[in-house]
Structure formats: C-alpha cells, structure tokens
Amino acid sequence: MSLRKALLVGLVSICAASTAADRYRIDPQHSFAGFTYQHWGLSTQDVRFDNTVGTIELDPVAGTGTIDLVIDAASVSSGVDAFNKTLRSAEFFDVANHPDIRFRSSQVHFDGDRLTQLEGALTVKGITRPVVLDIGQFNCRFMLIYGRQTCGANGSARILRSDFNMGSYVPFIGDEVTLHFSVEGIRE
C-alpha cells in the first residue's frame, strides 16, 4: 500500500471514529423540565417549564456524549397565573434579563449501554454551578411515528435556590429544590 493510500485510509478511520456518536434533537412536545419544593413545610409543590429544547450526542459503546438543554424560563407553569408572574419576576427567575436556563454536560456515565448519570453545569439567572443529574430511566428504540431511533430519559438533581440568587422566603419556603427532567430526543 502506498503512503498516500495509507494516509487516506487513516484519515477516513479517524473521521469515522469521530462521528460514532448518534446526534439527537430534543423533541419539545415530549420533553419537560421542572422542580419540586417544600411549601411552608406543609406539602411538596410541583412546577414545570413548558418549553425545553436542545441536543444530545451519545456513544454508549465508547461511553461518551454531550447533552445541551435550553429551558425557556418564561414558560414556567405552576398552575396559578399570579404565582407564575411572581416566578417570572426579578425575585425569582428574572425572565426579562435571563430568558434561558441551560444545562450543559461535561461528563456522561454509563453502566454498559445504559446512561446513568450526567455531570455538568447549570446556569440560572446568569449564575453557573456544577450539578450532577442522576438518570433513573433511559431507553432507546425505533419509533415508527418518526421513522427514526428515539431515546428518552428521566433525570433529577437537588440544588439550593439561594445558590442562584433565588432565595426569597427561605426558610419558610424550602431552599432545596429537586430538579426533574423528562427528555425525548429523535435521532437526526
């Protein structure tokens, strides 16, 4: 084999290896983020965001990948219009100045071909903190409705509101919140 041919084969091999990860686009109709918090020590309340988009790249064989989720902060939905306005205010999410909440993974963890954990950075109100998302459910399958491979996952993490300049009403309303994500991605 000539040197030129050997270099070409090597280059093709490197390119093939670098594109081994499957790329998925987050399906906004089946992907939601939200959080739960303690309300005055009486009950656990649920709030969700109605608009989540982003991308996922996964290579379970190599144990690598990246996740980039973008949540529209103004899509916060508590079920009560007056409370939604408060959540959108500067006291909480300050959507006028910080319209997006973002999670970007820095490391993915697999057990075999099952995604189990994501390490990354969560940005809320322009403040970025490290966070670890535990993945409770992860499945992939071919979906006839899309004609493509689709993966879904549910994940959660605990954070402190005060770490993101959202500590209003602590300790009466719990500082610790549990983030939860239900995400489905369709392979591009």
HEC sequence for 51-90: CEEEEEEEECCCCEEEEEEEEEHHHEECCCHHHHHHHHCC
CATH of 21-187, one of 3.30.465.10, 2.40.128.110, 2.40.128.640, 3.40.50.300: 2.40.128.110
Please, is 175 exposed, middle or buried when counting C-beta atoms within 10 Å of its C-beta (0-12, 13-18, 19+)?
Answer: middle
Task: Determine the pLDDT at residue 1.
Answer: 58
Q: Which of 70, 75, 76, 74 is nearest to 35 (CA)?
A: 76
Task: Determine the pLDDT at residue 129.
Answer: 98
Residue spans of the chain under pLDDT 70: 1-19
In whole angstroms, give the CA distance from residue 151 to residue 105.
17
pTM: 0.85
Task: Determine the pLDDT at residue 6.
Answer: 41
